[in-house]
Amino acid sequence: MSELNPEDLSLPKATVQKIVSEILPPDLVFSRESRDALIECCVMFIMILSNESNDMAEKESKKTIACEHVIKALEELDFRDYIEPIQQTIAAHKESLKVRERKVGKLDQSGKSEEELLREQELLFASSRQRMLSAGSVPKVDESSAESPAVSDPSVKVETSTE
């Protein structure tokens, strides 16, 4: 395994500084050395928690560390105070995933059938063709056909969905 650069195992200094600045009173100064020491402690905590979580996953013959493994690791490492806030965060995350899944697309929101939407699209194409013809920029197309020129051209293959 190649040697890791210390910067590879770090946290963004600006982000840590911002978080610390939001927590501390405005009249308190947080030195660069203090920030760097805090970052080292955070990285060490993450490494210890990751190793313990990995051990929990391996005990269950799992190759992926799941939330439950992290929670068990926190308990094993005697960081029980973190478990409840983490469980709340996990629940909020799962809820946000449900909301994302429930989002309805524009097609569903229209309330129209696929046939109605296709008819509207053909009318828009015909209207656009008419505007282009009146501007004299396109050769005339037989408007008696309900199909677009591409569909009536035997050399063009059009796939349609039957869902």
d(CA 126, CA 148): 8
Pair (97, 22) in one structural domain: yes
- The span from the CA of 127 to the CA of 146, in Å, is 13
Task: Quickly count helices (H) and strands (E) in the chain.
Answer: 7, 0
pLDDT digits (tens, 9 = 90+) for 87-107: 999 999 999 888 776 666 666
Quick check: is 157 in a domain? no
State how many domains the chain has.
2
The pLDDT assigned to 14 comes to 94
Among 63, 83, 102, the domain-final residue is 102
Per-residue pLDDT, 132: 87
Predicted confidence at residue 115, as pLDDT, reads 87
Full-model pTM: 0.56
pLDDT at 163: 47
Is residue 86 within 8 A of residue 66, CB to CB? The reply is no
Give the pLDDT confidence of 119-163 residue by residue, as tens digits: 989 999 999 888 888 877 555 555 555 454 444 555 545 555 554
| Residues 83, 84, 87: CA angle, nearest 5 degrees | 85
Domain that includes residue 127, residue range:
108-152
